[in-house]
Amino acid sequence: MLSAMLNAIYVLAALALVASFGLAIAARIFAVETDPRIERVEEALPGVNCGACGFPGCSGLAKAIVEEKAGVADCPVGGENTASAVAEIMGLSFAGGGEKMVAMVLCRGDDEVASKRFYYNGVSDCSSAALIFGGDKSCSYGCLGLGTCAGACPFGAIEMLPSGLALIDPEKCTGCTKCVDSCPKGIIKMVPASRTVHILCSSHDKGGVARKACKTACIGCQKCVKAVPEGAIVMDNFLAVINYDMEIPEEVADECPMNTIVVRRQGDLAATSVDMQTAVGGDA
């Protein structure tokens, strides 16, 4: 009996040894070579896995960079410091990726100044609300104020004001564009972080219609267009639009009869929060 058991153990041990050798040989034959730079690049990336680069997380971008399918500056979250570190790993030089872009909600129509067509009592989500006749606001272009963009932001850069409007903190915004993609109204745009003059309206309605829907709507009067260098502000189907490639004097805000144009400088978020909730007619 004992002898038979020992023989069985020896046979099993021999089979296990043969199998392990076989697996070791197979691992060598079918091994996939991994570039060690991939791991180093991934470590240099922020690690937030937001997907703003267009790849499946930081590991996907790291692999793409090493395989030369993406650039060293393709991480919008990491900024120039990350791009410089990645470039060094790749043996490349990085001269700078241009000005930082931040997201901005181009709407000032909160519950205090924008009228509503009906009372929405559904799911607290902008995309869901927009499915019902485009939303409850009389202005079909306005911010619905239900915070879908805030939920999409992985960096806590968006504050929902009590008055029903989204406000983005440029200091916290990394430029990942998650909020841009999440807005069903398409009113969140990327703007240069250094620019201070902004037109907070997205309505293309004619002046009379826009004014009835919102007390801070652009009415297409073109006073701002005439007050700045040619091409700095242009009209697009009844809406004044800023050309951020040009410098615009801050004094142009005083020309707007609807207080649609605002001046916001870096670090002004606290003041801006108050400003966005005050009655129309105060300083922009």
Q: Which residues in the chain come in under a pLDDT of 50? A: 270-284
> What pLDDT score does 202 carry?
95
Interhelix angle 36-44/57-66, nearest 10 degrees: 130
Question: For the chain, how many residues are written?
Answer: 284
DSSP 214-251: BTT------HHHHHS-TTSEEEETTEEEE-TTS---GG
> What pLDDT score does 73 carry?
81
Residues 125 and 265 both lie in one domain: yes
Taking the C-alpha atoms of residue 150 and residue 159, their distance in angstroms, rounded to an integer, is 7
Residues 117 and 192 both lie in one domain: yes
221: tokens are 């009067």
| DSSP class of 255 | G
Alpha-helical runs (H) found in the chain: 2-29, 36-44, 57-66, 79-89, 126-130, 148-152, 178-182, 207-213, 223-227, 269-277
Is pTM beyond 0.75? Reply is no
Q: Which of 62, 89, 116 lies at the terminal end of a domain, its last residue?
A: 89
Q: pLDDT tens across 13-69, in order?
A: 667 777 676 676 766 665 556 778 888 888 888 888 888 888 888 888 888 888 888
Q: Which domain holds residue 109?
A: 101-277
> What pLDDT score does 160 carry?
92
Taking the C-alpha atoms of residue 270 and residue 134, their distance in angstroms, rounded to an integer, is 31
With respect to residue 94, please indicate whether it lies within any of the assigned structural domains.
Answer: no
Residues 121 and 249 both lie in one domain: yes
Residues 109 and 222 both lie in one domain: yes
- Do the Cβ atoms of 148 and 127 come closer than 8 Å? yes
With respect to residue 6, please indicate whether it lies within any of the assigned structural domains.
Answer: no
> What pLDDT score does 25 carry?
73
| DSSP class of 36 | H
Q: Which of 46, 64, 89 lies at the terminal end of a domain, its last residue?
A: 89
With respect to residue 196, please indicate whether it lies within any of the assigned structural domains.
Answer: yes
With respect to residue 130, please indicate whether it lies within any of the assigned structural domains.
Answer: yes
> What pLDDT score does 280 carry?
37
140-179: b (≥16 Cβ within 10 Å) or e: bbbbbbbbbbbbbbbbebbbebebbbbbbbbeebbbbbbb
Domain count, the chain: 2
DSSP 3-state of 159: strand
Residues 127 and 229 both lie in one domain: yes
Taking the C-alpha atoms of residue 186 and residue 260, their distance in angstroms, rounded to an integer, is 18
Which of 190, 47, 176, 163 has its CA nearest to residue 106? Answer: 190
With respect to residue 176, please indicate whether it lies within any of the assigned structural domains.
Answer: yes
User: Which CATH number covers residue 81?
Assistant: 1.10.15.40
Residue with the two structure tokens 């650039």: 71
Residues 125 and 83 both lie in one domain: no
Residues 61 and 154 both lie in one domain: no
With respect to residue 7, please indicate whether it lies within any of the assigned structural domains.
Answer: no
